[in-house]
Amino acid sequence: MDHFNYQGGVLCAEDVPLTRIAAEVGTPVYVYSAATLRRHFGLFRQALDWTDHLVCFAVKANSNLAVLKLMGDLGAGMDVVSGGEYARARAAGVPGDRIVFSGVGKTVAEMRQALEGGIRQFNVESEPELHALSQLADSMGVTAPVAIRINPDVDAKTHEKIATGKSENKFGIPIARARQVYAEAASLPGISVVGVDMHIGSQLTDLEPFRQAYTKMAGLVRALRADGHAITRLDMGGGLGIPYRRDNSAPPLPIEYGQVIRDTVGDLGCEIEIEPGRNIVGNAGILLTSVIYVKEGEGRNFLIVDAAMNDLLRPAMYGAHHDIVPVREPLPGTEVQPFDVVGPVCETGDTFQKGTQLPALAAGDLVAFRSAGAYGAVMASEYNTRPLVPEVLVQDDHFAVIRARPTVEEILNRDTIPEWL
Ligand SMILES: *Cc1c(COP(=O)(O)O)cnc(C)c1O
């Protein structure tokens, strides 16, 4: 459920008509609903209310400071994958002891930043990383709290580019080697082992891969405890999918996901961490765009909109689907026709959807890409020197620009022409 509905014939974000945002901010623009963010966070919290837990929002899904502040104020922790994301979480007011640091390529500078600024745990993904972290922490006279990311070798049954829990993926340590690596970790001076971490992929629409992975995790925890490790924390990762099509059967609910966690690891007495990103913010955002031209092609009509692949990369990168809806509500019985919805960028890949059924639209009309709150603005670029797409946050009947559209002048000023040219 989200808060983007028609009211009085106009698609609204909560109680703000998208026509108003388009008029005041221009298009393309991302629009997020605060009520939807709060609701989704609450569902995860509720799903784990049977145990000690921390819901760590996956910052990479949407890292706008206003979004992070909203989440942090609700009590969320943060899962960060770079020093930049760590800085964002801290700038949004999230204390270090609620931040977990994931990622396969943490640099020494990033690890130092987190150790100095405060960190809940590092999710360590390799032995070289473990040694580098130990050496650094030891040299600083501290110990680094660590969970080791285990690759459980399960098939997440999701898009190949976002599956992370098969043995051929670059993520984590193979489960068969886990005991050996934990023994090594325990012997290192700068490391304090606190838990076990997994993250098997994104946009999972079936609970079975989670159940398989977490069952393996439970077995591993028992073995590690028998080896003498005090495992007190389990990080279950993120990955619960969302409905990208309104007409489709919905993926499992957070409450059902929480039950799988309880069934598999609930008896171990560990504090539970989860790292949802997409499920919290995906359906809390839309990308609002204007029609530039309606172009009649041979055998097909193109809707050329002012958003492009640089603003919303998912369709070009993963063949992802976003429902596209007109902002003016079509009257019942309005005839629809197929359009190929495309952006202005000079790449054939800049096609959002083919054959989308839409009512007759004209230049200047507004359309919205639904479910664009996650992996949308964060993946945007300035390809074709298109200014980075702005972001707006709505709450009730008011909104604020939470990232302004840069001017072309600002973009040009970032470049430098050497004196010797
Ligand atoms: C991307 C990622 C997440 C979030 O995944 P979602 O599918 O957005 O829930 C969580 N943890 C790690 C380690 C990730 O890389």
Model pLDDT for residues 366-415, shown as the tens digit of each residue: 999 999 999 999 999 999 999 999 999 999 999 999 999 999 999 999 99
Could you identify the atom of ligand 1 that is nearest to the CA of residue 61?
8
Counting atoms of ligand 1 from 1, which one is nearest the CA of 204? Answer: 7
pLDDT for 1 equals: 64
Domain with CATH 3.20.20.10 in the chain: 103-274
Confidence class for position 306, pLDDT limits 50, 70, 90:
very high
Pocket test for ligand 1, best of 43, 54, 79 (most atoms within 8 A of CB): 79
Q: Which atom of ligand 1 is nearest to the CA of 375?
A: 8
Evaluate if residue 335 carries a pLDDT over 80: yes
CATH 2.40.37.10 spans which residues of the chain? 4-31+282-413
In the chain the first and final C-alpha atoms are separated, in Å, by 56
Q: So what CATH class is 103-274?
A: alpha beta
Distance from residue 225's CA to the centre of ligand 1 (Å): 27
Expressed in angstroms and rounded, the spacing between residue 315 Cα and the centre of ligand 1 is: 19
Q: Is a pLDDT exceeding 80 seen at residue 249? A: no
Nearest to 40 by CA among 80, 65, 74: 74
Q: What is the DSSP string of 286-326?
A: EEEEEEEEEEE-SS-EEEEES--TTT--HHHHH-----EEE
pLDDT, tens digit (0-9, with 9 covering 90-100), for 117-165: 999 999 999 999 999 999 999 999 999 999 999 999 998 888 888 778 8
- Specify whether 346 is catalytic: yes
List residues near ligand 1 (CB under 6 A): 58, 60-61, 79, 102, 199, 202, 237-239, 275-279, 374
Indicate the range of 71-75, 248-252, 330-334 predicted with least confidence.
248-252
- Cα of 136 vs centre of ligand 1, distance in Å, is 26
Q: H helices within 92-126, ranges in order?
A: 108-117
Q: Phi then psi for 311, rounded to 5 degrees?
A: -90, -40
pLDDT of residue 146: 98
Average pLDDT, the chain: 96
Cα 191 to middle of ligand 1, angstroms: 24
In this predicted structure, what is the pLDDT of residue 64? 99
Residues 6+ apart with CB under 8 A from 194: 121, 145, 146, 147, 230, 231, 232, 233
Would you state the pLDDT for residue 248?
Answer: 66
Q: Is 274 exposed, middle or buried (CB count within 10 Å of its CB: 0-12, 13-18, 19+)?
A: buried
CATH 2.40.37.10 given to domain 4-31+282-413: yes
Q: How far is ligand 1, taken at its centre, from the CA of residue 199, in Å?
A: 7
Q: What is the mean pLDDT of residues 187-192?
A: 98
pTM (whole model) above 0.75: yes
Q: What is the β-pairing status of strands 285-296 and 366-369?
A: antiparallel
Q: Name which of 283, 279, 213, 281 is nearest 241 in CA terms.
A: 279
The letter for the amino acid at 82 is: S
Structural contact between residues 218 and 198, judged by C-beta atoms closer than 8 angstroms: no
pLDDT at 299: 81
Ligand 1 pocket: which of 275, 281, 375 to mutate (most atoms <8 Å of CB)? Answer: 275
| Catalytic, out of 12, 56, 270, 346 | 346
pLDDT score at 158: 83
Residue 170: the pLDDT is: 84
Is pLDDT at 201 greater than 80 in this prediction?
yes
Q: Which residue has the tokens 């063949």?
A: 319
Cβ atoms of residues 318 and 67 within 8 Å? no
